Amino acid sequence: MNKIAIIGLGYVGLPLALEFAKKYPTYGFDINKSRVAELSSGKDHTLEADEEELKASTITFTCKPEEIADCNIYIVGVPTPTDKHHKPDLTPLYKASETVGKLLNEGDIVIYESTVYPGVTEEECVPVLEKYSGMKFNEGFFCGYSPERINPGDKVNTLTKIVKITSGSTPEIADRVDALYNSILENGTHKASSIKVAEAAKVIENSQRDINIAFVNELAKIFTYLDIDTLDVLEAAGTKWNFLPFRPGLVGGHCIGVDPYYLAQKAQEIGYHPEIILAGRRMNDGMGEWLAGEVVKLMIKKQLAVKDAKVLVLGITFKENCPDIRNTKVINVVDELNDYGCQVDVYDPWAGAEEVKAEYGIELCQNLEDDYSAVVLAVAHDEFRTLNIGMHTVENAVVYDIKGVLDRHFVTDRL
């Protein structure tokens, strides 16, 4: 019988644990004691699960490795970030592999879901598992890879409703991994021909999206200089049957702004310089600073003082109607406005104040002032669509709509 341990209880691990627990004995393991305590009490600050669902679940949440020692399937869903130089940081993956390696028994399967570049599972993780288990790969233990496709805040394309890629280290294990995921999915799986194929498929999904957004971001810059409304252009072009409906904006989060660097790293290791991938990253990583500059230019045109000007930034999460602040690029807008000498307030009813303070050093404002010289809508939370921005601004204030969701009659400019 399958007895499953989910390693890492974030946006990836928790939905997995909840679904597998409906069919199998399931343990949720995390090294963060406060996270384990939170989930055990039926609460989830990521909002991926509600209290009733958590309280009704049979999951055993734990931060003690010994409590998952008799499981026979370990599914690893820990973060795979990049460092300040945009280099992949596999430390969480190594640590998780060490923890699991010490627990492995004959015949166990370790399945990785973390986003990586092709080769990480077999070339980086397997040696760690072998070292700490004392067993040989594909003899004592086996591996699989099934990349996560979690979209934080998305209540439509949830875990059970998507097609899941699966793979295994032998044909027999590939079949077992595929059957395991098929047991909880409504739309089935795609069994990849190898673990490396599955890894590569995941990393190009978000790289493709990143490049397409970079293209429309470049278009937005060009059209700004030509005094043409970018969204009007995209709407017109979108009437063609095969035009792709991408929009310009800030590209952050745990996937799109990170995954291309993983693929670029592997390409560079084999001596190939990935020009398009890195060009897209440069374009998207620089959008925050460029947008802040556009806001300042508009303030100058309106003869508003920039130094010590009060500026309100609406939103700090990386996407709308979601509390996830990981790798948000709104911080680049905030930092650049601060560098211009502005006094920036950040308001976001979705973000956790303590988490924002710890991660970015920003004190979220709880009460909006009524004399802002500029307002920047950075995240399209539903609450902002009906906010009476005019109540909080000085006469002739700049209102810049990065997301293009406000009534254009009340907006000075938009991306």
Tell me the CA distances in angstroms from 172 to 212, 290, 350, one per residue in order. 38, 52, 45
The rounded Cα 377 to chain-centroid distance in angstroms is 20
DSSP string, 109-152: EEEE-S---TTHIIIIIHHHHHHHH---BTTTBEEEE------T
- With beta carbons less than 8 A apart as the criterion, state whether 323 and 46 touch: yes
Residue 282 CA to residue 214 CA, distance in Å, equals 9
Tokens standing for residue 327: 């790798």
In terms of Cα–Cα distance, which of 120, 90, 16 is closest to 258?
90
- Identify whether 322 is a catalytic site residue: no
- With beta carbons less than 8 A apart as the criterion, state whether 153 and 324 touch: yes
Catalytic option among 71, 255, 322, 342: 255
Residue 79 CA to residue 95 CA, distance in Å, equals 11
CB atoms within 10 A of CB 276: 11
Residue 81 CA to residue 78 CA, distance in Å, equals 10
| Residues catalogued as catalytic | 255
